[in-house]
Amino acid sequence: MEQRELAYEGKAKKMFATDDPATMLVEYKNSLTAFNAQKKDSLEGKGELNNRISARLFTFLAEEGIPNHFIKILDDTHQLVRRVRILPVEVVVRNITTGTLCKRLGVPEGVTLERPLVEFYLKDDELGDPLITEDHATLFGWANEEQIAKIKHIATSVNAILGRFFDKKGIILVDFKLEFGIDSAGDLLLADEISPDTCRFWDKETKKKLDKDRFRKDLGDVLGAYREIWSRISGEGI
Ligand code: TMP
Ligand code: ASP
């Protein structure tokens, strides 16, 4: 496999074309942003941790019957994935109230929801990724009805599978964000990343935050939290 031109650079990853039109090379960067990049930093080792965590979680999800874009890990900060056209819809699943849900709707923090809440956001940095309804997504052509139905089904399955997985590691899966793409065959595929950048993880016993909220809220030891997630899910250190 040969690395070709930079196809896209996001806040936390670079995507390169390869000599195989069906695959892309992902480089996980050390940069960390919050609040639509109003807050920025770079943490040496963050890219490697997210590359490894994401690879492990995508592998596990595939084993559990959730197809996704991940193919294989290449080195510390690179992985190979299937090329997809990312839908401009971000899907958030929440089990416990926190974050923008509480800010936006004034509901109390830390309440366990009766059932998982699925939300859609428009993937548009200039607009600050606004919350949208399913009707917005289908009417404006961001995703069709069939895709929305599939996305909801997959997102709640991922929540159940990862919720059980993390529970066994002493971690509460509070909420997370997923992105989906369409591959060359026209099939919907789970894509992007699943890492402490895109999930909220709380220690089951202490409720300590083990994710990007440590950066958003200046709680310190951001990298230590990411390392803790990696060591609990892999049994290995970095
Ligand atoms: P929120 O409470 O800030 O809306 O975040 C909900 C979940 O989605 C949380 O696990 C963090 C994740 N998320 C992203 O991965 N990217 C984003 O741009 C935002 C706003 C949230
Ligand atoms: N990922 C978003 C940003 O970079 C928002 C967030 O995660 O808080 O700004």
Instruction: Report CA(2)–ligand 2 centroid distance (Å).
Output: 31
Q: Whose CA is nearest to atom 6 of ligand 2?
A: 34
215 touches ligand 1 (CB under 6 Å): no
User: How far, in Å, CA of 191 to CA of 87, rounded?
Assistant: 10
Q: Whose CA is nearest to atom 9 of ligand 2?
A: 36
Nearest ligand, CA 122: 1
DSSP 83-134: --EEEEEEEEEEEE--HHHHHHH-PPTTPEEEEEEEEEEE--GGGT--EE-H
Residue to probe by mutation, ligand 2, list 36, 131, 218, most atoms within 8 Å of CB: 36
pLDDT at 146: 98
User: How far, in Å, CA of 3 to CA of 1, rounded?
Assistant: 7
pLDDT along the chain (238 residues), means of 10: 95 97 98 95 98 98 98 98 98 98 98 98 97 98 98 98 98 98 96 98 98 98 98 89
| Cβ-Cβ contacts under 8 Å for 6 (sequence gap 6 or more) | 14, 15, 16
DSSP class of 141: T
Residue 163 phi, psi (nearest 5): -60, -45
pLDDT at 6: 98
DSSP 27-92: EE-SEEEETTTTEEEE-TTHHHHHHHHHHHHHHHHHHTT--BSEEEEEETTEEEEE--EEEEEEEE
Half-sphere exposure of residue 187, counting CA atoms within 13 Å on the CB side?
10
159 touches ligand 1 (CB under 6 Å): no
Place of tokens 């993937």: 123
35 touches ligand 2 (CB under 6 Å): yes
Return the SS3 of 183. Answer: coil
pLDDT at 235: 87
pLDDT at 176: 99
